[in-house]
């Protein structure tokens, strides 16, 4: 069989979810519960080590040295070394029917991992980007130790900031006041991600997945659910200043003081070439500090909106939607950044797209 046949492109790209979270935040407990759940049928999971999860009571069949089939109908495998090679090999085995035809892939990161390189891998590798689509990032946060972890470890802040779902684990062990304060801090850090309380890892898989642009239940794109622009706009209205501090005095040791999440709304149609030049400028100068970009654009000469998605230096190919999701035809771009001010994005977008002022607001 030819190499290109081994990696045949599926009719629908397979959804990929990235499970991240700091050391001790409950990823292993969560995975153990999910792997036993019947709702994980037709799901493949890439883990770092089987031994950390304890699969003995879940095991149905050991397919190969690094792959096991579970009684939930879930396929679990380890990837040692290069993630690209591991994902390609797993997909090739799916095509050859050496493993069940999974429809979803969950990738577990290490506790100290920055999830951005994994997202970039999925978006930038030509073979993977045609066969997999990024569904979302799931971040676990320890409800008892989360505040201290966010204070001490920048990795945990980035994990929560770029997440599409935040799970507060060990929530039954945290004092109500401390839990509420942690939720408020996470909401300030990431206004759009649902914050879900979890005890002993127990949560329905359906609450974690289908967070991406594509909604498999309707077989269509759902940009409003994915972008959640209103969450940033609401926060801006509540505080007047998006970066208001929820009762926290400024602390130079708070890593999330450097993280900002905001939405730019631009009312005039964008010139596509000038917009691309603006984005290239941002990536060249600030790519490492632009953690994530999502947007729906009103482009000159196009009746339909265009959706963009970027992680640091890497952008997914633009997606043209069939129609606008609502009557609002303004461009809306969500940014999650580190040590960068919204005003810089506002002013430079104006400078690149027009010769005179136009309505532009940040939330």
- Could you tell me the two tokens for 213? 């642009």
Confidence of residue 64 (pLDDT cuts 50, 70, 90): confident
In a domain, 258, yes or no: yes
- Pair (115, 181) in one structural domain: yes
Higher pLDDT, 186 or 246: 186
CATH number, residue 92: 3.40.50.300
Task: Tell me which of 183, 212, 241 is where a domain ends.
Answer: 212
pLDDT band at 62 (very low <50, low <70, confident <90, very high): confident
> What is d(CA 90, CA 26) in angstroms, rounded to the nearest whole number?
26
Q: How far apart are CA 148 and CA 153, in angstroms?
A: 8
Residues 223-246 have pLDDT tens digits of 889 999 999 877 666 555 443 333
| Same-domain status, 259 and 137 | no
Residue 192 maps to a domain: yes
Digit-coded pLDDT (tens) for 199-209: 999 999 999 99
**Shared-domain flag, residues 47 and 195:** yes
Number of domains making up the chain = 2
Whether 95 and 205 share a structural domain = yes
Q: How far apart are CA 150 and CA 188, in angstroms?
A: 13
Say whether both 104 and 173 belong to one domain. yes
User: Under a CB-based contact definition with an 8 Å cutoff, are residues 168 and 193 in contact?
Assistant: no
Last residue of a domain, one of 158, 184, 212: 212
Is 294 part of a structural domain of the chain?
yes
User: Is 219 inside a domain boundary?
Assistant: no
202 and 281 both lie in a single domain: no
Mean of pLDDT values over 124-152? 93
| In the predicted structure, residue 362 carries a pLDDT above the cut 80 | no
Residue 307 gets the label, from left (phi > 0), alpha (psi -120 to 50) or beta, of: beta
**CATH number of 337's domain:** 3.30.1220.10
Q: Both 165 and 276 in a single domain?
A: no
| 343 pLDDT above the threshold of 90 | yes
Looking at the structure, tell me whether residues 149 and 275 fall in a common domain: no
Tokens of 17: 């979810």
pLDDT at 51 exceeding the cut of 60: yes
As a residue count, the chain comes to 363
Both 208 and 236 in one domain: the answer is no
Angle between helices 154-161 and 176-189 (to 10 degrees): 70
Task: Identify whether 220 is part of a domain.
Answer: no
**Integer Rg of the chain from CA:** 21
| pLDDT for 2 | 46
The answer to whether residue 227 sits within a structural domain is no
Q: Is the pLDDT of residue 78 over 60?
A: yes
Q: Identify the bridge partners of residue 14 per DSSP, sorted by sequence position.
A: 132
Asked if residue 27 is part of any domain, the answer here is yes
Are residues 154 and 288 both part of a single domain?
no
Alpha helices (H) in the chain, listed in sequence order: 3-6, 27-35, 50-53, 83-95, 116-124, 126-131, 146-152, 154-161, 176-189, 223-227, 229-239, 272-286, 342-353
- Give the pLDDT of residue 6: 57
Q: What is the predicted pLDDT for the residue at 16? A: 95
Determine, yes or no, domain membership for 223: no
Are 32 and 124 contained in the same domain? yes
How many angstroms separate the most distant Cα atoms in the chain? 66
User: Does one domain contain both 12 and 155?
Assistant: yes
Q: Residue 44's domain spans which residues?
A: 3-212
Q: What is the pLDDT of residue 239?
A: 53
User: Residue 330: helix, strand or coil by DSSP?
Assistant: coil
Q: pTM for the whole thing?
A: 0.88
């Amino acid at each position: 069989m030819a190499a290109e046949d081994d990696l045949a492109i599926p009719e629908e790209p397979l959804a990929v979810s990235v499970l991240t979270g700091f050391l001790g935040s409950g990823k292993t407990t969560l995975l153990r519960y999910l792997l036993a759940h019947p709702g994980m049928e037709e799901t493949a999971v890439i883990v770092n080590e089987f031994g950390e999860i304890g699969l003995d009571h879940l095991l149905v069949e050991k397919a190969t040295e690094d792959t096991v089939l579970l009684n939930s109908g879930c396929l679990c495998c380890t990837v040692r070394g290069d993630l690209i090679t591991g994902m390609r090999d797993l997909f090739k085995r799916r095509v050859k029917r050496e493993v069940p035809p999974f429809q979803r892939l969950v990738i577990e990161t290490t506790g100290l991992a920055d999830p951005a390189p994994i997202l970039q891998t999925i978006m930038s590798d030509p073979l993977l980007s045609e066969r997999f689509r990024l569904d979302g990032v799931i971040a676990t946060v320890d409800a008892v130790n989360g505040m201290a972890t966010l204070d001490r470890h920048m990795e945990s802040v980035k994990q929560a900031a770029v997440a599409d779902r935040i799970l507060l684990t060990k929530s039954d062990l945290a004092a109500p006041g401390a839990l509420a304060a942690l939720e408020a801090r996470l909401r300030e850090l990431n206004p759009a991600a649902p914050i879900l309380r979890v005890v002993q890892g127990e949560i329905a898989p359906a609450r974690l997945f289908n967070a991406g642009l594509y909604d498999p239940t309707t077989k269509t794109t759902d940009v409003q659910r994915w972008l959640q622009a209103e969450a940033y706009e609401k926060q801006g209205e509540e505080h007047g200043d998006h970066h208001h501090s929820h009762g926290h005095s400024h602390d130079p040791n708070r890593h999330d003081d450097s993280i900002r999440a905001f939405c730019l709304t631009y009312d005039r149609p964008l010139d596509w070439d000038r917009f691309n030049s603006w984005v290239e400028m941002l990536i060249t100068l600030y790519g490492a500090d632009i953690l994530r970009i999502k947007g729906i654009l009103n482009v000159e000469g196009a009746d339909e909106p265009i959706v963009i998605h970027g992680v640091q230096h890497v952008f997914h190919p633009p997606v043209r939607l069939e129609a606008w999701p609502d009557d609002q035809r303004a461009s809306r771009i969500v940014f999650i950044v580190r040590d960068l001010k919204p005003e810089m994005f506002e002013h430079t977008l104006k400078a690149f797209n027009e010769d005179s002022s136009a309505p532009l607001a940040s939330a």
